[in-house]
Structure 1
């Protein structure tokens, strides 16, 4: 079953490109991609000196040299010749805005970016794209071996808009024969002591309430009643708590969704998702967004 048709892959001319190209190849068939746009965006398209030393033949203008370099890498890693590809190098004062604008123009369904663990780089572009992209985003980590997921963690708050991401999660878990594990992060509210209950007692009350919310959610939308894990946030931070849980259960992908309450909110992630993206550079993440619901707000955003 096809999920996405057109993908945009962001490259930065570091060794992360080699990793990302190899991992993207693994995902092509599963994602249902027909066309790939390989894009490099920078404030200045001058070819770095270290690359010129290795490739003195790159004497053409910066954009042509970079495009030639990317095409060489695709050939080196046997990128499927049956796949329609387009390679471009773009210059922009604000790389994030330039990249997102190109994603809109090309009407892509998914953006694929790398997340670095040891390779130099801030990762700010990937995080910005994950937050603001008008389509789904797949973040593939540097150190993780290439491969499709077999255990997918899906953080959830059981609100109505979570229905979309659960439906998508069930589809891909069936196709991949992968285990789907819902996870809910709950907290003990401030002021619990005024109730006369201990911290532990009130934590149990919050957990029972979360279980009831999950049961109602499953019944309302007709989802499969798989076991949900309830995680008490002990103050280490919501993102870190979810990442720790993902590692503890052996998840090899985290599936997230946008807030989706309105057209304006659908394009942006919730605060918990943003925190998880900020701390996670070890596990692949697929951020699913219903593209059609975000375009109106995105078009307005570009005019600001």
Structure 2
């Protein structure tokens, strides 16, 4: 199995010594509303955490967990989605504001809520999907999995991900925006995310992102239109200024249909 790790515009090789060196991973990571299916509420007093990422890593998440996830991905024992979730945990802090731009069946939405929820009620997950059945699936999963207080921290919107700025209250900065592109698992495979709308969504995410935040994009290339969307995302990421953004990707070179994880980190 071969792993391509692209950081900004250069390819780098990974060896055992590098993987055992924690600073490598630290460098890798630094790398409105108008339509809702839920009752609209006045914006809460959300605040973007200013605690440094380095300090939060040391205080909250053991870095060894991320190292294990990376080794698992390299050796084919962990999926790209599992690696993505571990990376999110190293970025997100309790009380943060995050976006699930493509809710699907709600599993990412639920995982994000568990990362941001705290007793103060400041954290919030804004979930979006263009398909009503996806939001119904997400809402059902959340209702089954969360208590009433946690459920209040998730807001779902029946909107295309390109309209992200329509749902985020003014003055709110995001810590994390996640995309799981392609079609709804178990749904109509003819309904897919498309390059033009995804590009617009990425532009919105960049404008809404606070310093130390991350845009995580899981790109599926095995369906018609998937490869074109992937190329659009690569072009978008390559055009971000290196002074303020670090962009990388995880891609299996000898598995051309495997999903690709693209990460855009705002300094």
TM-score range, shorter chain: 0.3 to 0.5
Q: Which one has the bigger helix percentage?
A: 1
Q: Which has the higher contact order (CA 8 A, sep 6+)?
A: 2
Q: Larger Cα Rg: Structure 1 or Structure 2? A: 1
